[in-house]
Amino acid sequence: MSTTLTSEQIAAYHRDGFICGLPPLFSADEMREHNRGLEELLRLLRPGEDARAIREWHESSRWLYDLCLDPRILDRVEGLLGPDFFLWASNFFIKPARSSSTVAWHQDAYYWGLRPLFRTVTVWLAFTDTDLANGAMRVVPGTHQAGLLVHRRHDPGASASVLNLELEQGTFREDSAVALELPAGCASLHDDGIVHGSPANTSDRPRIGLTMRYSAACVTCDPVANPHFKTYLCRGVDTYRHNRAGPVPTVRYARTDFTPRDP
């Protein structure tokens, strides 16, 4: 099955700021293997850590690196970013059954420190079936065209959200949001300017997604916003050399020993 996006799908992505409803990237057998890989990473967490600590472990874990560079994923990203792009982030968003944890409405571009804006794509790969009841991500179509909107910070732990910032009320229309429901093995793709968030998991099923972030080679990162920023060229060439390139990991399952900065 082709994993290249059609010109209609590419146009829809640029119009709406996201695309969902694409054919699966991975079979049920492959997803069983991927879930086993995730279990190996979870075993590496230290006392007091939870799955949110699994950030940028593609830098240390060859299994995760290979998944992020799977050609089927890269074919889709290439349709949106063009021939030259790199991977720079990955993290798991895990909501156990009946978890009250949410992700507040936000725009990623607001806090990532990347320039130019809006040349970055997130692939959200469903490790479990994902729907509104178990806390699927919601996006507000077209909001990537509004530029950066006003966010406010709140104290860590002061809300159910795993993020310490959220969009000011009135900056977007929540009633236009759509849920990105995905069977396991399917992925959505979204622009770093899209307004998005996710509600609590009110179901008896876990919800697990892996986000993988890719930017066009021209993108540079402010080291104050992200001192650990490293790039892994996925396709083409990086003639810009704006950023530090990371070494390819050799160990199948291993953790990083830095703590990425929270927004």
Collect all residues with Cβ–Cβ distance below 8 Å to 87 and sequence separation of at least 6. 58, 68, 69, 212, 213, 214, 231, 232, 234
**Residue selected from 209, 216, 221, 255 as contacting ligand AKG according to rule CB under 6 A:** 209
**Gap between the terminal Cα atoms of the chain:** 38
Residue 124 binds ligand AKG (CB under 6 A) = yes
Angle at 261 between CA 259 and CA 263, to 5 degrees: 150
Would you say 125 or 217 has its CB closer to ligand AKG?
125
Rank residues 53 and 254 by Cβ distance to ligand AKG and give the closer one: 53
Please say which residue, 60 or 122, places its beta carbon nearer to ligand AKG. Answer: 122
Does residue number 108 form part of the binding site for ligand AKG (CB under 6 A)? yes
Closest of 76, 79, 87 to residue 26, by C-alpha: 76
How far CA 83 is from CA of 37, 60, 79, 201, 211, in Å, comes to 29, 26, 8, 38, 21
20 forms part of the interface with ligand AKG (CB under 6 A): no
Nearer to ligand AKG, 144 or 254 (CB): 144
What's the token pair of residue 96?
């156990």
Is the Cβ of residue 37 or residue 209 nearer to ligand AKG in the bound state?
209
Q: Which two tokens stand for residue 137?
A: 């991500």
**What are the tokens at 186?**
């399917």
Taking the complex as a whole, how short is the minimal distance between the CB of residue 122 and ligand AKG, in angstroms?
5
Say whether residue 25 binds ligand AKG (CB under 6 A).
Answer: no
Q: Cβ 240 to ligand AKG, closest distance in Å?
A: 24
Note the Cα 56 to chain centre separation in Å: 11
Per CB under 6 A, which of residues 45..104 are in contact with ligand AKG?
93, 103
In the complex, least distance from residue 241 CB atom to ligand AKG, rounded to whole angstroms: 27
226: Cβ contacts below 8 Å, ≥ 6 apart: 112, 113, 260, 261
In terms of CB distance, is 190 or 235 closer to ligand AKG? 190
137 binds ligand AKG (CB under 6 A): yes
Applying CB under 6 A, the residues found at the interface with ligand AKG are 93, 103, 108, 122, 124, 137, 196, 198, 209, 211
